[in-house]
Amino acid sequence: MSNMALPAATLDDKYTATTGRVFLTGTQALIRLPMLQRERDLAAGLNTAGFISGYRGSPLGNLDLGLWKAKQHLAEHHITFQPGINEDMAATAVWGSQQVGLFPDARYDGVFGLWYGKGPGVDRCGDVFRHANAAGSARHGGVLVIAGDDHAAKSSTLPHQTEHIFKALLMPVLYPANVQEYLDYGLHGWAMSRYSGCWVAFKALADTVETSASVRVDLAAVNIVFPTDFALPPDGLNIRWPDPPLVQEARLLNLKLYAALAYARANQLNRVIIDSPTPQLGILTAGKSYLDVRQALDELGIDDKLAAEIGIRLYKVGMVWPLEPEGVRHFAEGLEEILVVEEKRQLLEYQLKEELYNWREDVRPRVVGKFDEIGEWSQGNWLLPATGELPVATIARVIAERISRFFTSPTIAARLKVIEAKQKAAQTPIILAERKPHFCSGCPHNTSTRLPEGSRAVAGIGCHYMVTWMDRSTATFTHMGGEGVPWVGQAPFTEEKHIFANLGDGTYFHSGLLAIRQAIAAKVPITYKILYNDAVAMTGGQPVDGILSVARITRQLEAEGVGKMVIVTDDPDKYAEITDLAPMCRFATATNSTACSVNYAKSPASAS
């Protein structure tokens, strides 16, 4: 037995260790990432700072909580965390971090920025991202945009896949497959952003964010290489002022995206993982789907050696848009067929076909993915469906079918039967009892979402969304911040005189006040139930990102022109000492709150 003492380990190692391996969750890796960037910049002789802003939402719902807990470590690395009141305000603030060097008195050589938000937040930020990406990043700054995607709508009102949004905004997209790649691709993302002048997107799934792994944190673990086959213009590709819009467009389309492609090529962000001396089937994949392909091969009993013997070549894509052409053409060389494995709508498949269409027709391989070779528009058969999540069993079945054209094996056939049996068993519902989610014991929503008899309400984003499956006459919902506004388009065309709209205080502060303003502007009779609990309960109980109180809400609504206001509470006496409420406010107890709302239909808009 060795008597050698082991080094002391602490919970802070995840943020303080500078060599070796540490155990990190995906969320913690995103928190450690800017610290690594600052440390690498210092080692390179750069005095930089970091700026982080965004808005919470699964699968990044705990990122702000983790950032607050790591406040001391962030401060030691000159990193400022300032959450936005909503996603586009946060993105605009990050845009400002790239403008620091445009003006005198900057204290740092540059500021690297990080934005975070879930899929709907990416949708919301389209205008900001488009302008900021066109303007560009700072030479010693750079921007990484962390997008939390929910492919199966496990915690969203719709499934989300953000790559197509970023493509439309002309932002390069990195797609890490594991926690280690959160660090590695993150550092590459900032380096690519600095080099190319682009904002760089970074796709994050719950499957990775919520996992844990032992990862390397050595400063030299990622070797960044700058392209030698791309000539930067003398003035570079970074942000500047003044900068006319058509000049920005030309720089982005003619230079910046090609610089990003050159960076991806120089750093082999896309690469062959398994090769074969006699390749026949190529598999091209990225991110989570790459791990699913590896698992599918494993379940079929195909290791790397057997894959090479069979004739399989596996290509892993790290930058999914734009797809670097030289690498994929080298990958396609000598193949008879390429199977593209990706979740949701095709992104890689369409790009691959475009790159190969006019390339060496004598050796151009057949490409299949979402559909077989018959084709999508000729009633072709689905191979890898775009809806929901893509099961490993489905990937294994498709791989087995495609290689059966040139390789058969009793072992693979037997394993495939086992896989299919497991999949069938997993799809067979076993429902012993069903319990739908309900409000927590003691939650004010238990009473606040009740309605007067004969009334109906519309829902919004928040825990109170659950009322849509309760017996409370609440149906339909909107995106975050649009609560109640569908009534503006209904009211002129119905005999119905009035509805209620539920609106959480977190959403009110995020963007919901605009919905109330729209209802007032349209002069429609509606009662907003502003559900105040002083916390963003749905994502972890975070405080609202600013100053918000019942009194402030009443003053805001008074200024907006709300007709009537009632404060509904189980203890009206606690407001006895509050003197800055809007004068029109009345009070009601929770037990009779439903009766208090009956007459609201007489006013253009009211709130409780």
- The residues pairing with 118 across neighbouring beta strands, listed in sequence order, are 148
In one letter, which amino acid is 88?
A: D
In a domain, 227, yes or no: yes
Residue 440 confidence (pLDDT) above 70: yes
In a domain, 8, yes or no: no
- Residue 600: φ, ψ to 5°: -65, -25
In a domain, 434, yes or no: no
How many C-beta atoms surround the C-beta of residue 258 within 10 A?
A: 15
Phi-psi map region of 327: left, alpha, beta (phi>0 left; psi -120 to 50 alpha):
alpha
Q: What CATH number is given to the structural domain containing 78? A: 3.40.50.970
- Which pLDDT tens digit goes with each residue over 101-144? 999 999 999 999 999 999 999 999 999 999 999 999 999 999 99
Q: Which residues, 6 or more positions from 500, have their beta carbon under 8 angstroms from its beta carbon? A: 451, 455, 456, 457, 458, 526, 527, 528, 529, 597
- Same domain for 60 and 102? yes
Residue 367 confidence (pLDDT) above 50: yes
Whether 475 and 453 have beta carbons less than 8 Å apart is answered as no
In a domain, 541, yes or no: yes
In a domain, 114, yes or no: yes
Provide the CB-side half-sphere exposure for 53 (13 A, CA).
23
Query: Which of 409 and 134 is assigned the larger pLDDT?
Result: 134
- Same domain for 115 and 17? yes
Among 266, 300, 332, residue at a domain's last position: 266
Mean pLDDT of the chain: 91
- Which pLDDT tens digit goes with each residue over 271-298? 999 999 999 999 999 999 999 999 999 9
- Which pLDDT tens digit goes with each residue over 342-361? 999 999 999 999 999 988 77
Q: What CATH number is given to the structural domain containing 305? A: 3.40.50.920
Whether 198 and 171 have beta carbons less than 8 Å apart is answered as yes
In a domain, 485, yes or no: yes
How many C-beta atoms surround the C-beta of residue 218 within 10 A?
A: 12
- Same domain for 254 and 285? no
In a domain, 165, yes or no: yes
Residue 604 confidence (pLDDT) above 70: no
In a domain, 4, yes or no: no
- Same domain for 418 and 490? no
Among 427, 454, 477, residue at a domain's last position: 427
Q: 319 is in which domain, residue-wise? A: 271-427
Residue 251 confidence (pLDDT) above 60: yes
- Same domain for 391 and 469? no
- Same domain for 283 and 383? yes
Residue 306 confidence (pLDDT) above 50: yes
Residue 596 confidence (pLDDT) above 50: no
- Same domain for 415 and 347? yes
> In the prediction, which pLDDT does 603 show?
38
Radius of gyration of the chain (CA): 27
- Same domain for 173 and 319? no
- Same domain for 416 and 539? no
- Which pLDDT tens digit goes with each residue over 42-91? 999 999 999 999 999 989 999 999 999 999 999 999 999 999 999 999 99
- Same domain for 521 and 559? yes
> In the prediction, which pLDDT does 4 show?
61
Among 230, 249, 266, residue at a domain's last position: 266
Provide the percentage of residues in the chain whose pLDDT is more than 90. 77
Provide the percentage of residues in the chain whose pLDDT is more than 70. 94
- The count of structural domains within the chain is 3
> In the prediction, which pLDDT does 379 show?
56
- Same domain for 367 and 381? yes
- Same domain for 493 and 522? yes
Structure tokens at 412: 């693979």
CA gap 494, 199 in Å, rounded:
47
> In the prediction, which pLDDT does 599 show?
30
pLDDT category at 594 given cuts 50, 70, 90 is: very low
